Amino acid sequence: MKYPDSFEIAGRKLSPPLVLSPMAGVTDSPFRRIAKKCGNVGLIVTEFISIEGLTRGNMRTHEMMRFKPEERPIAIQIFGYDEVRMRWAAEIAQEAGADFVDINCGCPARKVVHGGGGSNLLRDLPQLKKILTEVKRAITIPMTVKIRAGWDDKSINCIEVAKLIEDCGGSMVTLHGRTRVQAYQGFADWDLVAQIKKNVSIPVSGSGDILKPEDALRRFDETGCDAVHIGRGAIANPYIFRQTWETMNGIEPYKPAPKEMHELLLDFRDYLRDHMPEKGVIGRMKMLSAQFLRGVPNCAHIRTAVLRSSTVEEMEPHFIDYFEMAEIHGIDSNLQSARDENAELAECGV
Ligand SMILES: Cc1cc2nc3c(=O)[nH]c(=O)nc-3n(C[C@H](O)[C@H](O)[C@H](O)COP(=O)(O)O)c2cc1C
């Protein structure tokens, strides 16, 4: 099969059809920049940004919108309930220079849902319609929407929601094929991506459980989707976009040398230091290290030592140890893509 080498949102060509999925607490500017550096990310979506924070002038929320030119093309994702504030937040995102505004209709977190936003909108379609109509009216850049399958397994309504999105002028729909109640358990239902694709004429992207290049190829084959979003797979392996693109094109996927991966981790440290106070840097380095320092057998003790460090300087000798072991033993991509239950639960704390 010939895989698509690009997709289009409202006439704008994006290549390759591989999207860095929005992840709160993960896809901030430093992470987005290292993902871009590894290559072949066709579109980046920011972590979700609260319309309440934005429209009430919260400085930290406004800072979440900042991005570097090399992060383009970029969609800024917003979440909330009130259509007037959603419209206002979308205007702010447009003024911030976003290429696209993405509306979050999938977040399962209790706090978000209780505020009426995220996946709650899947069970309040009149309000979703108001939001989409208002946002579409207010901005000139394209509006995209990310949804889940439905609220629970008795109310799977993503096809109806996708049609509503199209009718309201949405330029792309992304489905993470789990329900709100499912949160991150089980597997994403990609058959629903195929069904949405058959029912709308706007581009459709699928999200869920792409951990290695072959997973993406299989999903393109099975669903005919226009693009795929990659989330957790990119934390353990930010080279996954490049490796997927190469696999799609029959090229042997790139294997970064341990030295290069070590440098990438240090670049991440520098980007973080540019972006936030040192206290935040330590937490973010630990988050990435827990996922990134995988794939070399018998190195769990090194990960533990990194996670116990109280400063970045304390972590650095452990990075050297890990990448020396990687030089000797190589990196096993199966181990790299495996996620244990605890790590998964920690990731899904949002
Ligand atoms: C830590 C974390 C944070 C997330 N934050 C967001 C978010 O802000 N907005 C959103 O639409 N989806 C969010 N998601 C969902 C992902 O974008 C993605 O749809 C989901 O994780 C399934 O894809 P994956 O298996 O490739 O990770 C988040 C997921 C994780 C693990």
If one counts the domains in the chain, the total is 2
Atom of ligand 1 nearest to the CA of 178: 22
pTM: 0.95
Shared domain check, 263 and 176: no
First-to-last alpha carbon distance for the chain, in angstroms, is 37
Q: pLDDT tens digits for 200-228?
A: 999 999 999 999 999 999 999 999 999 99
Q: What's the pLDDT band for 338 if we cut at 50, 70, 90?
A: low
Q: Which residues are catalytic?
A: 107
Atom of ligand 1 nearest to the CA of 174: 19
Q: Does the residue 124 lie in any domain?
A: yes
Cα–ligand 1 centroid distance for 132 (angstroms): 21
Cα–ligand 1 centroid distance for 314 (angstroms): 30
- H/E stretch holding 157 reads none
Q: pLDDT tens digits for 272-313?
A: 999 999 999 999 999 999 888 998 988 999 999 999 999 999
Would the pLDDT of 111 be above 80? yes
Q: Does the residue 339 lie in any domain?
A: no
Q: Which domain covers residue 45, as residue numbers?
A: 7-248
Task: State whether residue 170 is helix, strand or coil.
Answer: coil
Shared domain check, 101 and 29: yes
For a mutational test of ligand 1's pocket, the pick from 23, 31, 48, i.e. the residue with the most ligand atoms closer than 8 A to its C-beta, is 23
How far is C-alpha 259 from the chain's CA centre?
A: 26
Would the pLDDT of 341 be above 90? no
Q: Which of 257, 171, 173, 243 is nearest to 211 (CA)?
A: 243
**Percentage of residues in the chain with pLDDT exceeding 90?**
91
Shared domain check, 198 and 88: yes
Shared domain check, 121 and 41: yes
Atom of ligand 1 nearest to the CA of 21: 17
Q: What's 236's domain CATH number?
A: 3.20.20.70
How far is C-alpha 271 from the chain's CA centre?
A: 19
For a mutational test of ligand 1's pocket, the pick from 18, 21, 337, i.e. the residue with the most ligand atoms closer than 8 A to its C-beta, is 21
Shared domain check, 324 and 216: no
Cα–ligand 1 centroid distance for 321 (angstroms): 31
Would the pLDDT of 10 be above 50? yes
Cα–ligand 1 centroid distance for 21 (angstroms): 6
